[in-house]
Amino acid sequence: MHNVGSELETTYEGIPASPGIAIAPVHVIARGFSSPEIYEILESDLEAEQQRFLQALEVTKRQLIELQGKLEDLSGDNESGIFEAHVMMLEDRSVVDRVLLAIATRLQNAEYAFYAVMQNFLEAMRRIPDPYLRERTSDIEDVAQRVLRNFIVDDDVRHQTPQDRHVLVAYDLAPSDTASMNRRHVLGFATEQGSVNSHTAILARAFGIPAIVGLDAAVIDIIALTPSILDGYSGKLILHPKPETLEHYRKLSLAKEKVHSALDAMRGAATETVDGRALTISANIELVDDLPLVKRSGAKGIGLYRTEFLLLNGKEMPDENHQAEVYARVVREMAPHTVIVRTLDAGGDKLPVEPLTDPEPNPFLGWRGIRVSLARPAMFKEQIRAVLRVSALGKVALMFPMISGLSEIRKSKELVRRCMDELDKEQIPFNHELPVGIMIEVPAAAICADLLAPEVDFFSIGTNDLIQYTVAADRVNPHVADLYRPTHPAVIRLIKRTIDAATNNGIWTGICGEMAGDIRLTPLLLGLGVEELSVGPQQVPRVGQAIRSLSHAACAAMADEALRHPRSQGVLDLSLSLANKHYPELLD
How far is residue 12's CA from residue 236's CA, in Å, rounded to a whole number? 6
Condensed to tens digits (0 to 9), the pLDDT of residues 356-393 reads 556 677 777 888 899 999 999 999 999 999 999 999 99
Q: Which residue has the higher pLDDT, 556 or 59?
A: 556
**In the predicted model, what is the mean pLDDT of residues 403-432?**
98
Write down the pLDDT at residue 73.
62
Catalytic member of 512, 552, 555, 582: 512
Terminal-to-terminal C-alpha distance of the chain: 23
What is the pLDDT confidence band of residue 509, given thresholds at 50, 70 and 90?
very high
What count of Cα atoms within 13 Å lies in the side-chain half-sphere of residue 426?
Answer: 12
Condensed to tens digits (0 to 9), the pLDDT of residues 321-330 reads 999 999 999 9
Q: In this structure, which amino acid lies at residue 67?
A: L
Could you tell me where the beta strands, DSSP code E, fall in 368-478?
396-400, 436-440, 458-461
For residue 469, count CB atoms less than 10 angstroms from its CB and return exposed for 0-12, middle for 13-18, buried for 19 or more.
buried
CA 424: distance to chain centroid? 39
Query: What's 431's DSSP letter?
Result: -
Lowest-confidence range among 55-59, 278-282, 359-363?
359-363
Q: Is the bond into 336 cis (omega within 30 degrees of 0)?
A: yes
**Domain covering 10-33+162-259, topology:** Glucose Oxidase; domain 1 (3.50.30)
**In the predicted model, what is the mean pLDDT of residues 228-242?**
95
The residues facing 429 across adjacent strands are none
**Region of residue 270 (phi > 0: left; psi between -120 and 50: alpha; otherwise: beta):** beta
**Region of residue 226 (phi > 0: left; psi between -120 and 50: alpha; otherwise: beta):** beta
Is the predicted pLDDT of residue 3 greater than 50, yes or no?
no
CB atoms under 10 Å from CB of 355, counted, come to 9
Q: Which residue has the higher pLDDT, 84 or 281?
A: 281
The residues facing 402 across adjacent strands are none
Task: Report yes or no: 530 and 574 within 8 Å, Cβ to Cβ.
Answer: no
Per residue, the 3-state secondary structure of 26-49, as one string, reads EEEECCCCCCCCCCECCHHHHHHH
The residues facing 439 across adjacent strands are 460
Task: Report yes or no: 308 and 331 within 8 Å, Cβ to Cβ.
Answer: no
How far is residue 66's CA from residue 479's CA, in Å, rounded to a whole number? 49
3-state secondary structure of 413: helix
Task: Report yes or no: 396 and 339 within 8 Å, Cβ to Cβ.
Answer: yes
512 is catalytic: yes
3-state secondary structure of 51: helix
Domain covering 43-149 assigned CATH 1.10.274.10 in the classification: yes
**In the predicted model, what is the mean pLDDT of residues 522-535?**
98
Query: Please, what is the average pLDDT of the chain?
Result: 88
> Please, which residues have CB within 8 angstroms of residue 473's CB and are 6 or more apart in sequence?
467, 480, 481, 483, 484
Q: In this structure, which amino acid lies at residue 147?
A: V
What is the pLDDT confidence band of residue 350, given thresholds at 50, 70 and 90?
low
What count of Cα atoms within 13 Å lies in the side-chain half-sphere of residue 468?
Answer: 16
> Please, which residues have CB within 8 angstroms of residue 269's CB and are 6 or more apart in sequence?
298, 544, 548
CB atoms under 10 Å from CB of 426, counted, come to 8
* Integer CA distances (angstroms), 194 to 201, 212, 330, 475, in order: 8, 9, 31, 10
199 is catalytic: yes
Element (H, E) at 216: none
Q: In this structure, which amino acid lies at residue 290?
A: D
What is the pLDDT confidence band of residue 317, given thresholds at 50, 70 and 90?
confident
Write down the pLDDT at residue 418.
98
Domain covering 266-586 assigned CATH 3.60.15.30 in the classification: no
Q: Could you tell me the residue ranges of all domains in the chain?
A: 10-33+162-259, 43-149, 266-586
Task: Report yes or no: 574 and 524 within 8 Å, Cβ to Cβ.
Answer: yes
How far is residue 338's CA from residue 294's CA, in Å, rounded to a whole number? 13
Closest by CA to 30, choosing from 148, 131, 207, is 148
What is the pLDDT confidence band of residue 440, given thresholds at 50, 70 and 90?
very high
3-state secondary structure of 113: helix
**In the predicted model, what is the mean pLDDT of residues 418-438?**
98
Model-wide pTM > 0.85: no
Is the predicted pLDDT of residue 9 greater than 90, yes or no?
yes
Catalytic member of 199, 337, 488, 552: 199
Write down the pLDDT at residue 83.
65
Helix axes 110-126, 137-149, angle to 10 degrees: 170
227-231 sheet: strands from edge to edge: 10-13, 236-239, 227-231, 21-29, 166-170, 186-191, 211-213, 15-18
